[in-house]
Amino acid sequence: MSDLLRVEDLWVRFFKRGGGVVEAVRGVSFAVGRERVGIVGESGSGKTMTGRAILRLIRPPGEIRAKRIGFDGTDLMGLSERAMRRIRGERISMVMQDPKFSLNPVMTAGEQIMEAYRLHTGAPRGEARARMIEMLEAVQIRDAERVAGLYPHEVSGGMGQRIMIAMMLAPDPDLLIADEPTSALDVTVQMSVLQIMDRLVRERGMGLIFVSHDLNLVASFCDRVLIMYGGRIVETCRAGALNEARHPYTRALLESLPRLDRPKPRLSVMRRDPAWLEEPSVDAFA
């Protein structure tokens, strides 16, 4: 499979005011093809920062360093901020967890999608409008004309998230970075949002980076999984084989989870090993 994105030795550091450095991402390398790649980890593992760093969305006092972030033949690290703005949204889109903070509260859903589309394509209003309706329908919004006229506060969380996704997908990106895109949603809506993303990968050949804390969901939804701990990828494996993962951290994570299909008298408690922070990662594909 040809790589759409190849991240080489990515570091994200935050410089604290009183001196001292927090290393959020520590030397991460991975590639993404036209597939669904899950990044899982607990809070503080660096999974969200990895997603944001690809789009260079880390502000000072944060700093991104990488040997290379190769995307479609260019190194994103070498691009000007102006050139980067053309990549964002147009070639690589990002969907975040909470639509409440991602949508503009004083613009209708339709206007926002049209604005985003026209900004990236320079298309005339009529075309943008048609595209906007098409996208709302693509995310399973019935009655797209009516929803287009609603403001963010007038729609439910699930509807807001679908509007976000419609906005991100309107310019037909090659890669979508979705950070916990369904965590705030009910299961029914969650499934339909996942099915939309699934279809885009299968039908349009989009690449998807799916950042999540939900092991079950990632195992059943993605093609491959990267497990992050302490700013590093500790294990890479086929999503369907997550239950046979070998790294002790991944094992401990799986063991600590209550399961519906298998009762456990007691949940196992993770004993963190400092070696996990330094040891080479377990790669099922190497």
Partner 1 sequence: MPSPDAISAEGLSVAFGEGTARSIAADRVTFRVAEGGSFGLVGESGSGKTTVLRAIAGLIGDWTGGLTVRGETLGPRRQRGFYRTVQMVFQDPYASLHPRHTVDRTLSEPLRLHRFDRVEARIEEGLRAVGLGPEFRFRYPHQLSGGQRQRVAIARALMLEPRILLLDEPTSALDVSVQAEVLNLLADLRSRRGLTFLLVSHDLAVVAHMCEEIAVMQGGRIVETLDVDAMRRMEPREDYTRHLLRASMGYVPEETG
Q: Which residue, 104 or 256, is less far from partner 1 as judged by CB?
A: 256
165, 219, 237, 282: residue in contact with partner 1 (rule CB under 8 A): 219
**Subset of 136-155 contacting partner 1 (CB under 8 A):** none
- Tell me whether residue 54 or residue 178 sits nearer to partner 1 (CB atom): 178
Of 86 and 259, the one with the shorter C-beta distance to partner 1 is 259
Residues 6+ apart with CB under 8 A from 250: 227, 234, 235, 237, 242, 282
Q: CB 253 → partner 1: shortest distance, Å?
A: 6
Q: Does 97 bind partner 1 (CB under 8 A)?
A: no
Q: Which residue lies nearer to partner 1 by CB, 71 or 221?
A: 221
194 touches partner 1 (CB under 8 A): yes
Q: What is the x/- site pattern for partner 1, positions 29-48, by CB under 8 A?
A: -------------xx-----
Q: Which is nearer to partner 1, 106 or 257 (CB)?
A: 257
Judged by CB under 8 A, the number of residues near partner 1 is 34
The only residue of 22, 130, 220, 246 in contact with partner 1, by rule CB under 8 A: 220
Could you tell me which stretch among 112-120, 130-138, 167-175, 190-198 binds partner 1 (CB under 8 A)?
Answer: 190-198
Nearer to partner 1, 2 or 43 (CB): 43
Report the residue from 252, 276, 283, 284 that binds partner 1 according to the rule CB under 8 A: 252
